[in-house]
Each structure stands twice: as C-alpha cells, then as structure tokens.
Amino acid sequence: MNDAPHVPVLKDETLGLLQPGQGKRIIDGTFGFGGHSLAMLEAGAEVLGLDLDSVAVDTCRRISGDRHGLKCKQISFRDLDVAMADVGWEKVDGVLLDLGVSSFQLDDPAKGFSYRADSPLDLRFDQEKGITAAELLAAGSEAEIADLIWKWGEERGSRRIARALVRARAEGPVDTTFKLREVVQGVLPRGKKPEPVLSRVFQALRIAVNEELDALAEVLAKLPGLLHPGGVFVVISYHSLEDRLVKRFIDREKRDCLCPPEIPACVCGHHKVLKPLTRKAVRATQLEERRNSRARSARLRAAEII
C-alpha cells in the first residue's frame, strides 16, 4: 500500500453533523484509510468500521490494536444490519457512508481502478467475491455492455465503445486496463479528449461489478430502522448517480404523505421518517478543493431520523 494516507473529504462538516462523543455509537460503513473514523474515535465515540476491501479492514484492525472503541468487519454496508447483529449493537447514533474509491485503491495496480497503470481489469473492492470487469466484458452481449456504459457511465459513445469491445474480444480477451484503454481510444471521434471518456467507462464497470447503486439503495432503506430517533446519517457521493439516489431517498422520506395531489386525504399510510439536515448538497470549500483534488466532486447530504 502507498504510504501517503488517503485524505478524508469534508471531515469537519461530517463531524459537525454526526456529533461523535462519549457514549455515541457510530458506523463508518466505508472505513478506507480510517480518516473519518479516527476523528470520531478521538472525539470519544465507539466506531464500527466496515469495508469490502481487505487492505482497508487490515488497516482498521491494526488501528484497533492501539485504539479503544474501534471494531472492524469485512462486509458490505448493504449488510449493515448483519454487521450490527454480529457485534451486538441494536441501534446506532450515526452512520457515515463516504462512497467511491480510496486513494490507496487507485494506487494499487492489482485493483485495476486506474486507466493510468497497466494491470488486470478487476475493479472489485472485494477481490474474493463476484466477477471481475474482464469477466463481465467477456460474457456480456454488445447491448448489455452498451447499456451499462450508458447507464452507469452516462457516456454518450456507449454503443460505439461496446461494438469495439465485442470486436476486440473476438481477437483476444480485454482483460487489462491498458487493453480496455486502447480499445476505447481507438473509437474516439477525432479531437475528443480520452480522459473523461475513460473515466466514465471505468466508473461504469466499477459500479457494475460492485453493484454499487444497488448496495446504496439497500442500505438507505435500512437506515431508519437501524438508527435511534435523533440518529443521523451522512452520505458523501462522488458522482451524480449516487447523489441523485440519496437526494430522492431523503425527499421521499421527509414527506408525510405520498398520495397524488388529486386525492385530498392521505390514504397511503406513508409517514415521514426523517428530517433533512442539508437543504442542498454540501460541497468542499475552495481551500479544501485546492488541497485535495478528490474533494472537487464530493457532495454531502445528511438527515436525522425522527
């Protein structure tokens, strides 16, 4: 692992919302390098750190050897309820999800997260489970590949890229980051910058192999039942698909009635379960963006369970 630590994004804003302190139990669902967790432990909270990546969980276990109040589990945050049952926690005071990729993962060539280094096309957070991006590209039909690049990468050239990938795999597997890069670059319209397109294609594949949006939707639905009344969740997203999902969840669950306006009395039985703590998505300050380029795309939303 690279020695340079991952710099936690929007740390002060997160702590301000979660208010970690003595007697509070908080779940860091995306432990990573532990930047947010360490700050919460220092404030006196008990923290349960979860991550899918074995390197992140090893880091958590190493820190927990010196730090009282930190527990660690290698599990997806979509199974937050299972992780809580394992450590005997019934309800918690706060949940943090700092989504996306950690700097140490981008720097780890074995993961294949970056198109800047040549490595196997894996892209899984947990390399023991599920299928790799290379396997996905080998098995998918042209239409399936085009759909996922469009849906999760929002890349306009999705059909052209999918056609090129299917043509390329007939000659040999597309199983390294550089092979994928070569195929994508080979079908770019003249004058188009490759980096943004490559970022979108890699993002789409990462979301697909890790089922990232499904995991996020599942954990959001579980949160109201797992937090104490007054408990707070904070989600930091790094692309619009994640942020939209969180925004829609908060917008829906802050309402007391979901009946259409033509029905005068609410009969749907939906009751509001949360109070938004962020009117608009919170963004990093210019100073933080200058110090940490990852902060540029960060959008934080938070809500309190009522």
Ligand X SMILES: C[S@@+](CC[C@H](N)C(=O)[O-])C[C@H]1O[C@@H](n2cnc3c(N)ncnc32)[C@H](O)[C@@H]1O
User: How far does Cα 71 stand from its chain's mean position?
Assistant: 21
Cβ proximity to ligand X, 30 vs 203, nearer residue: 30
Q: Does residue 237 interact with ligand X by CB under 6 A? A: no
Q: Does residue 8 interact with ligand X by CB under 6 A? A: yes
Q: Does residue 30 interact with ligand X by CB under 6 A? A: yes
Q: Does residue 111 interact with ligand X by CB under 6 A? A: no
Q: By CB under 6 A, what part of segment 117-156 binds ligand X?
A: 125
Cβ proximity to ligand X, 165 vs 219, nearer residue: 219
Separation between Cα atoms, residue 210 and residue 205, nearest integer Å: 8
Name which position in 17, 52, 145, 168 contacts ligand X (CB under 6 A).
52
Distances (CA, A) of 161 to 68, 174, 201: 50, 13, 9
**What crossing angle do the helices spanning 35-42 and 11-18 adopt, rounded to 10°?**
50
Measured from the Cβ of residue 189, the count of other Cβ atoms closer than 10 Å reads: 8
> CB-side exposure of 240: number of CA atoms within 13 Å?
5
Residue nearest to ligand X (CB): 32
Q: Does residue 13 interact with ligand X by CB under 6 A? A: no
Q: How far is the CB of 32 from ligand X (least distance, A)?
A: 3
The angle at the Cα of 220, spanning 5 to 90, to the nearest 5 degrees, equals 90
Q: Does residue 253 interact with ligand X by CB under 6 A? A: no
Q: Does residue 56 interact with ligand X by CB under 6 A? A: yes
* Buried/exposed code over 66-81 (b: 16+ C-beta within 10 A; e: otherwise): eeebbbbbbbbbbbbe
Size of the site for ligand X (CB under 6 A): 22
Q: Does residue 233 interact with ligand X by CB under 6 A? A: no
Name which position in 13, 15, 20, 35 contacts ligand X (CB under 6 A).
35
Separation between Cα atoms, residue 133 and residue 115, nearest integer Å: 13
Separation between Cα atoms, residue 205 and residue 123, nearest integer Å: 7
Q: Give the bridge partners for 4, in sequence order.
A: none
Q: Are 148 and 93 in contact (CB under 8 A)?
A: no
Q: Does residue 36 interact with ligand X by CB under 6 A? A: yes
Q: Record the tokens describing residue 210, joined without a space.
A: 């890790």
The one segment of 27-35, 194-202, 244-252, 284-292 that binds ligand X by CB under 6 A: 27-35
Q: Does residue 108 interact with ligand X by CB under 6 A? A: no
Q: Does residue 100 interact with ligand X by CB under 6 A? A: yes
Q: Which residues bind ligand X (CB under 6 A)?
A: 6, 8, 29-30, 32-36, 50-53, 56, 76-78, 98, 100, 102, 125, 215
